[in-house]
Chains A and B, each alone.
Chain A
């Protein structure tokens, strides 16, 4: 099965790096969509169905927290699993993002295998796991 994934990050370098991790992990990729902030992501989600959203938190225009709120408030989008990828490893941030509906939280830096396994778990529907070091 080929999966459709949306990566939301204001860093083009990080979007490229995540694409590389996906290619290395062996996850069959049907479509790889990219957005530079939450608003661009919402615009894409309203015209493309995806199997997984990976989002950063600190972004201009609309941050990851607001994106999670928007997805959670939209009946057409709320079932899409969202994984947060952030440098912030504080318990407060993790709890806030999970309360907003994030299904997983991976901290940067990560070794590629950690992110690959986390994506596999969500795409295969095995639910939440905590990947903080």
Chain B
């Protein structure tokens, strides 16, 4: 996976969001850039403004549970699958919105409501697109995969 300025910004923004809102430290970019083989929860949203595109976040179930637990401040056993998805959606919104407004400081972007999708769909779209900033991040609890795809 090629590391670019966009990758660094995406890493910085995601770290900021995870540390501020979920009290989770990011260890850094992951060396292994492949998607995890276990159950993955995936969120995606579209954005429009000065150019449009989509943003996605994929988290193994175990990581998603830790993120939701810390964000909501309640134990995992009290958190439903729907709540985990809601937290990942909010996380996607924050990372994408923050990334875009740091990337283009004078442009207003509109973001659609994030939605969860089957993980296989995301694997396909990331693999097929050539205009993607993709980053796998290592957390203590495992890895998180993020990508932003700009429309051609």
User: Do A and B truly interact?
Assistant: yes
Task: Report which A residues bind B (CB closer than 8 A).
Answer: 10-14, 16-17, 20, 58-60, 86-93, 96, 107-111
In the complex, the answer to whether B97 meets A108 with C-beta atoms within 8 Å is yes
Range class of the B interface residue count: 20 to 34
In the complex, the answer to whether B17 meets A11 with C-beta atoms within 8 Å is no
In the complex, the answer to whether B108 meets A87 with C-beta atoms within 8 Å is no
In the complex, the answer to whether A87 meets B86 with C-beta atoms within 8 Å is no
In the complex, the answer to whether A20 meets B73 with C-beta atoms within 8 Å is yes
In the complex, the answer to whether A17 meets B110 with C-beta atoms within 8 Å is no
Q: A11-B90, A13-B83 are in contact. Are A87 and B105 (CB under 8 A)?
A: no
In the complex, the answer to whether B111 meets A58 with C-beta atoms within 8 Å is yes
State how many angstroms separate the Cβ of B59 from the closest Cβ of chain A: 14
Within 8 A of A (CB), among B60-85: 68, 71-73, 83
* Interface check B21, CB cutoff 8 A: yes
In the complex, the answer to whether A13 meets B72 with C-beta atoms within 8 Å is yes
- Further contacts, 12 of them, CB under 8 A, given A86-B97, A90-B107: A10-B113, A11-B86, A13-B89, A58-B113, A60-B113, A87-B111, A88-B109, A89-B102, A90-B108, A91-B106, A93-B108, A109-B20
In the complex, the answer to whether A11 meets B72 with C-beta atoms within 8 Å is no
Q: A13-B71, A109-B94 are in contact. Are A88 and B101 (CB under 8 A)?
A: yes
In the complex, the answer to whether B21 meets A17 with C-beta atoms within 8 Å is yes
Note all chain B residues with C-beta closer than 8 A to A111: 20
Note all chain A residues with C-beta closer than 8 A to B98: 87, 89, 107-109
Closest 6 CB pairs of A and B: A87-B97, A109-B20, A13-B86, A109-B17, A11-B90, A13-B87
**Residue of A with least CB distance to B99:** A87
